[in-house]
Structure 1
Amino acid sequence: MPSKPIFQLRGIGVDYPTPAGVVTGVDDITVDIPARGMTVLAGPSGSGKSTLLRVLGLLERPARGTLTFQGADTGRLRHTERRALRRDHLGLVFQNPPDNLFSSLNVADNLRAAAESARTECRPDDILRQLGLDGTGSWRISALSGGQQQRLAFGCALARRSSVILADEPTSQLDEASADLVLDTLRFLVDQDFAVLVASHDDRLIDLGDRIARLHKGKLERVEHAATNGPERGGAR
């Protein structure tokens, strides 16, 4: 049975003012994002995938269209309500590993801080063991490799008990071995029934996706399903 959508986008558009005039980041995006499995936003640089991920992460307000999260219209929410929704439900992982962590805290304290920010508690040793980072709790962040730092960033989303995990090009700054660690972590999260949304042009990561939303020049070209390889065209649901 298909998973019930956690996000529903209808006619989403984002514009950016520039000295040369208004530039459209994404336009007329209509798609549903299921509450389980991995959805990959795929496309070349400038296709709008990172912009769309920022909309889904409630970091960007669209100029047009509606975005609902668990049935609630996010466009009607005040700034404080959007921030609370992001804090309590969304785990964000950025492409540059150090941007996701507090360098002044050790590994375990990063997890504790993440949990505290969402007003919950966590067991750092349990999370580190799940992510293959056993024994690193007392380490400084600088002692971790780039791949380990990204794994820890996903661990912070686990510590916050986020229902959705969003990652922007999580392997783009990593060597192949470090990227392998991140791919393993994404497989683990999918197996734990999280909704995982990733913007990426990494073919290996795209191959992990249950659904691949192909973007080009700010438009949604099609949605591909891993099980059938059958595309949905246009206003994909």
Structure 2
Amino acid sequence: MTHDERVLWCEGVEYGYPTRGESVRALSGVALSVPRGAITAVVGPSGSGKSTLLKILACLERPEDGRVWIDGTEVTGLSARTRRAMRRSRIGYVFQDPADNLLDYLTVSGHLALAARLRGRDTGADALVDVLGLAHRAGHVPRRLSGGEQQRVALAFAAVGSPSVVVADEPTAQLDRSSAARVVEALRGLADRGQAILLATHDPSVSRVADRIVELVDGRVEG
């Protein structure tokens, strides 16, 4: 992979949780790269550090050690204010539970308009609605959508304005098989349009469509 292909990468990432005066290692020396136009899936058993890694790469947490870059900018040492601006403009984040991603009072179109305002650009909103199969739901609020539709709206919300990377933590974990299949299809569609996708998953159907697999075991990259 060339430097021009990758939009997000890290080296030597370390993170621990304090427990009774000691630090339990969640991540140890993690390095990975996320290229544009591809799905990179982080897999591994529960407790392996997947969610922690995604939060660090999405500027939601700081590593104890190591470095993280987005579009060539090292974000690790940036101020909290600058990191917030970086998250807003260059990172779309999708939480595991569909209800955590959406605002009850906004329609599908309203969510996309809000995302465009937050990122200062509205490129691709109409195309996203079509790619994710949401055109017929554009005027609906979340409570009138299925779980799978809500998660596809969350993906659209995360991808409007072409952020550098869309990060999704277990995006199919709360969904039935049919709804999960539509979300997987939506992820593939976003990547095929050139979007960089980074996700954590236990779902084999998601792993199967990934272009790159990163396996975490006890906080370390295997292989």
| TM range, smaller chain | over 0.9
Measure the CA separation in 2 of the matches of 1:59 and 1:119. Answer: 21
Measure the CA separation in 2 of the matches of 1:4 and 1:121. Answer: 24
Q: State the match for 2:92 in structure 1.
A: 91
Partner secondary structure for residue 75 of structure 1? coil
Further displaced range: 68-77 or 87-96 = 68-77
Which residue identity is paired with 1:153? A
C-alpha distance 124-35 of structure 1, shift in aligned 2 (>3 A): closer
* Mapped contact 2:162–2:195 kept (Cα < 8 A): no
Further displaced range: 17-26 or 42-51 = 17-26
* Mapped contact 2:34–2:197 kept (Cα < 8 A): no
1:31 Cα shift?
2.4
RMSD (CA atoms): 1.7
1:44 is the counterpart of 2:28? no
Partner secondary structure for residue 10 of structure 2? strand
Q: State the match for 2:106 in structure 1.
A: 105
Q: State the match for 2:77 in structure 1.
A: 76
Partner secondary structure for residue 24 of structure 1? strand
Measure the CA separation in 1 of the matches of 2:137 and 2:122. Answer: 19
What does 1:1-237 align with in structure 2 at a 5 Å threshold?
A: 4-19=5-20, 21-121=22-122, 125-222=126-223
1:79 Cα shift?
1.0
Which residue identity is paired with 1:117? L
1:78 Cα shift?
1.0
Higher relative contact order (CA 8 A, sep 6+): 2
Partner secondary structure for residue 32 of structure 2? strand
C-alpha distance 175-20 of structure 1, shift in aligned 2 (>3 A): farther
C-alpha distance 119-17 of structure 1, shift in aligned 2 (>3 A): same
Measure the CA separation in 1 of the matches of 2:11 and 2:159. Answer: 29
1:114 Cα shift?
1.4
Measure the CA separation in 2 of the matches of 1:146 and 1:211. Answer: 27
Measure the CA separation in 2 of the matches of 1:70 and 1:123. Answer: 20
C-alpha distance 7-124 of structure 1, shift in aligned 2 (>3 A): closer
TM-score (norm 2): 0.93
1:28 Cα shift?
0.7
Which residue identity is paired with 2:206? L
Deviations 1:120-171 (A, max 9, x none): 2367554322211122121121111011001111111232321211000000
C-alpha distance 219-203 of structure 1, shift in aligned 2 (>3 A): same
* Mapped contact 2:37–2:192 kept (Cα < 8 A): no
Deviations 1:187-222 (A, max 9, x none): 101110111001001111011111100110111112
* Mapped contact 1:6–1:71 kept (Cα < 8 A): yes
* Mapped contact 1:117–1:160 kept (Cα < 8 A): no
1:18 Cα shift?
2.7
TM-score (norm 1): 0.88
Aligned residues: 222
